[in-house]
Amino acid sequence: MLAVYFISFNVYFSHLGNFMIYYLGFTADTMGLIEGVGLLLAMFTSIPAIRFIRNDKSSLIILFAVVINAIGLLVIGLLVSPENVNPSTIWNPMLLIGVLLVGIGYILFLQTITVWSKRLYPEDARGQFEGIRIIFYVLIPMVVAPLISNPIIKNNGEIIDENGFTAYLPTNTLFLAGVVIVLLTLIPLWAANKAHK
């Protein structure tokens, strides 16, 4: 679950700033505010989630997180474009909703899977298993995600800049690809939930 979810996350999130600045036309500070507000509000969802985690409902929270994340990516991928945003303000409802939903999915997923996996570590080898978790959380996604995102950007985001040079920008297609990949997280979730039960 960690590997599949974070492959999806690394496909779009590392390009979100460039998408907002160079494709949508926001300044770096406005982009930071939009991301910051979305993630700050999303953090509050972790409070009620604690009760579900304590009641052994981790798979239910992860299901919710993946679906909410996918909806947020769909909102950005389908409803946010240079034609319908105002880069001079943070008040862009569809973009804010999309970033908020993606943030909620991210925070709930990370919080829940961290607790769930750490409960499974053997007491005498917690450090070793934390290292193994990092392979799936960081290494695999950072290697695989660019193999997916780079061709998508090159095939869908080619522009000629004001100096006549070819440049490549992340476009909405990247977020739609993120939807497909994040939904693949449901396959290992089904297997993990079955094993857990």
Q: Residue 99 domain-assigned?
A: yes
The fraction of the chain above a pLDDT of 70, given in percent, is 100
How much is the pLDDT for 126? 80
Measured CA to CA, the distance from residue 4 to residue 140 in angstroms comes to: 9
Residue 197 domain-assigned (yes or no):
no
Flag whether 70 is in a domain. yes
Residue 54: inside a domain: no
> At residue 160, does pLDDT exceed 80?
no
pLDDT of the residue at 166? 82
Q: Given a cut of 90, is residue 162 above it in pLDDT?
A: no
Q: What is the pLDDT of residue 182?
A: 97
For residue 15, what are the contacts with CB-CB under 8 A and spacing of at least 6? 149, 153, 170, 174
Range of the domain at 83: 2-43+60-121+138-191
Q: Compute the distance between CA of residue 134 and CA of residue 141 in angstroms, rounded to an integer.
A: 10
Give the residue-averaged pLDDT of 5-9: 97
pLDDT value for 47: 87
**131 belongs to a structural domain:** no
Whether 82 maps to a domain, the answer reads yes
Q: Which residue has the higher pLDDT, 126 or 110?
A: 110
**Residue 4, both tokens:** 């599949």
Whole-prediction pTM value?
A: 0.92
- pLDDT confidence of residue 93: 93
- Whether 66 is in a domain gets the answer yes
d(CA 171, CA 185): 23
What is the average pLDDT value for the chain, to the nearest integer?
Answer: 92
| Number of CB atoms found within 10 A of residue 123's CB | 5
pLDDT band, very low/low/confident/very high, at 184 (cuts 50, 70, 90): very high
Asked if the structure places residue 94 within a domain, the reply is yes
- Reported as a pLDDT band with limits 50, 70 and 90, residue 130 is confident
pLDDT at 147 exceeding the cut of 90: yes
**For residue 112, what pLDDT band results from cuts at 50, 70 and 90?**
very high
Point out the least confidently predicted range of 1-5, 63-67, 86-90.
Answer: 86-90
Residue 145 has pLDDT above 90, yes or no: yes
Which of 6, 12, 10 shows the shortest CA–CA distance to 153? 12
Q: pLDDT class for 196, splitting at 50, 70, 90?
A: confident
Q: What is the pLDDT of residue 70?
A: 98
Average pLDDT of the residues in 36-54: 88
What is the total count of domains within the chain? 1
